Structure formats: C-alpha cells, structure tokens
Amino acid sequence: MTLFRALRRPTAAFGAVVVVIWVACALFAGLLAPYDPLISTTALVEPFSRGPDGKLFLLGTDMLGRDILSRLIFGARTVVLWAGLATATAYVVGIVGGLAAGFYRGAVDQILSFAANVILSFPVLVLYILIIVTLGSSGANIVLAVTFASAPAIFRIVRALAIEIREQDFVNAAITQGEGAIRIMLFDILPNATGPLVVDACLRVGYTAITIGILGFLGLGLPPPTPDWGTMVNEGRAMAMVFPYLVIFPCLAISSLMLGLSLLADGLREASREGSRA
C-alpha cells in the first residue's frame, strides 16, 4: 500500500520508472543490448555514428572498440545484481544482530554494539579498499566488503527500532504467552520495523551502486572485461578531455540509478508518514 501511495507522487513515480528501466536492463541485457559488450570492433566511434562496417553505435565505442550502450546495459546487470545482493546480505546480518541486541539487551547488546561501533569508526572507503585489496576483486568479495561495512549501520537502525517495539504491549503480551524469542523477533518486532527499513534499503542500494562504481574507478572493481560503470569511467578518464563521451555516459548511468532510488526512497518515506498519520 505504501508503495502505491508513493507512486502517486510524480517524483517518486519518475524514480521508480528509472529504477525499473535499469532493472529491466539487468534482467534482459542479452535481448536489449545491440552488440556483444565484450567484442571489439572499431575503436572510438563517436556517438550516433556508424563504424566502417556500417554498424550504428548510438553511444559510440570505447578505446577497445566495444559498444558503450551494450556495456552500459550489461553494466546494469553488474550493478543491480551485486548492489542488490550486497545490500540484502548486509540487511540479513544487520537485522539478525539488531533484533538480538534490541530484544535481549544486556551483554548481547553491549558486545554487538561495541563491534558495530568499532567497524563504524573506520572510514567506509578505507574499509572497502582494505578488504578488496586483501581478498582480491570479485563479486563475492564486493558483497563481503559491503556487508562488513554496511551491516553495522543497519544493525543500529534495527536495534533502535527493536528496543522501541520491544516495550510495546503486544510484544509483552507475546512474551507473557510464552512465545519463543525468535518467533517474537521475526513475527512481532520485525514486521513493525519494515517501514523505515524499506526506505533505508532503497537508499542503501543506491549507495552500494555508487560504492561499486567507486571501486571500479579505483581499479578495484570486478575483473576486466566485466562491464562495470565505475570501471568504464576509469578506463575512459585518460581520454576524457578529447573523447568526453567515454565518461559522460557511464557517469549518467550511475547518477540516474542513484537519483531514481533516492526519489523512490523519498516517496516511500512520505507515503509511510502519511500512512501512520492516517
């Protein structure tokens, strides 16, 4: 319901459309991309131009002659898949820890909160770089890095919500009825915490997409030749002064996804507030 309410807002609807377009690109990349994103043809064909073989390249080709549009479409798969997976994993870890700390309090809370604070005290980017440089660059390691760096923040949100909800009458009633702790956490506390978490998740997927872009830009993204928007910016940057389209299009892709997710998150937040007022 909250989603439908949110989509009534033009900005949120616009955000949702952008996100859906990129998700569709990720899901149907093979059908949508005009060319194979890994195959070289003619290098540095300008946007909206044809190569010597007559092929039209809407967004041009990169320095290795690969179609930029196809790489962006396949790059969406990289971003959506890994950003989504990494955020989901971070959420699982953050929710489990946050529920446990908020419900049990005491020593469990103190230990988990201390660990979360220690991790949060590191600059996030430094953490990412340390993990990727140590373990090597791969999708799984990006998930691990994002989980490690993001889970503590999610933990804190869930913990705060859990502490608040834990004091509600219906939770005390469930405890009095002798329901198990896990059941209470999953079926009584968590459903009542979803509103703020959905908004946060929406934003966090966007941050993770940017993080993957930053890692790619720093040369720590997925190994080549995987199409990855951040890596595309990095690859094109040496020639950006002369061939600016090499970096403009992947930058626009990153920005549009982030903008879409932010607008959607704003809409959800507003809709959620309206829902609670109603």
Partner 1 sequence: MFNFTTLTGGKPHPEVPALAEQFRGGQIDRREFLRTVAWLGVTAASAAAFAGVAPGAALAEEPKMGGVLRIAVAVQEITDPALVSWVEGSNLLRNVVEFLTKVDADNITHPFLAKSWEPSEDLKVWTFQLQPNVKWSNGDAFTTEDVVFNIKRWTDANSKSSNKSSFAAITSVDVKDTLTFSITLNRAILSIPEMFYAYTCPILHRDFDKVGAPWPKNPVGTGPYALAEYGVGQKAIFKRREGYWGKKPYLDEVRYIDLGSEISAHIAALAAGQVDFIARITANDIELVKKLPKVQLLTAHAASTVCIRMQTDQKPFDDIRVRRAVLLAADNAQMVKLAYRDLGVVGENHHVAPFQPEYFKLPAVARDVAGAKALLAEAGYKDGIDLTLVLGNTQGRWEQDTAQVLQQNCAEAGIRVKLNVLPATEYWPIWNKAPFALTFWVHRPLAVMTLDLAYRSTAAWNEAHFKSPEFDAALDKAMAIVDPKQRALAMQAVEKIVQDAAIMVQPFWADKFTAASTRVQGLRLHPSDYHDLTTVHLA
Residue ranges binding partner 1 (CB under 8 A): 38-40, 43, 63-65, 136, 219, 223-225, 235, 237-239, 241-243
**CB-nearer residue toward partner 1: 34 or 225:** 225
For 177, counting Cβ atoms within 10 Å of its Cβ (0-12 exposed, 13-18 middle, 19+ buried), the class is exposed
Minimum distance of partner 1 from residue 198's CB (angstroms): 37
Minimum distance of partner 1 from residue 212's CB (angstroms): 16
**CB-nearer residue toward partner 1: 215 or 265:** 215
Minimum distance of partner 1 from residue 165's CB (angstroms): 47
Is the Cβ–Cβ distance between 211 and 97 less than 8 Å?
no
**CB-nearer residue toward partner 1: 39 or 118:** 39
Provide the terminal-to-terminal Cα distance of the chain, rounded to the nearest Å.
Answer: 12
Is the Cβ–Cβ distance between 127 and 118 less than 8 Å?
no
Is the Cβ–Cβ distance between 212 and 16 less than 8 Å?
no
**CB-nearer residue toward partner 1: 64 or 93:** 64
Minimum distance of partner 1 from residue 64's CB (angstroms): 5
**CB-nearer residue toward partner 1: 34 or 84:** 34
3-state SS string for 112-172: HHHHHHHHHCCCHHHHHHHHHHHHCCCHHHHHHHHHHHHHHHHHHHHHHHHHHHHCCHHHH
CA distances from 222 to 24, 71, 124, 141, 231 (A): 21, 14, 19, 9, 8
Minimum distance of partner 1 from residue 60's CB (angstroms): 15
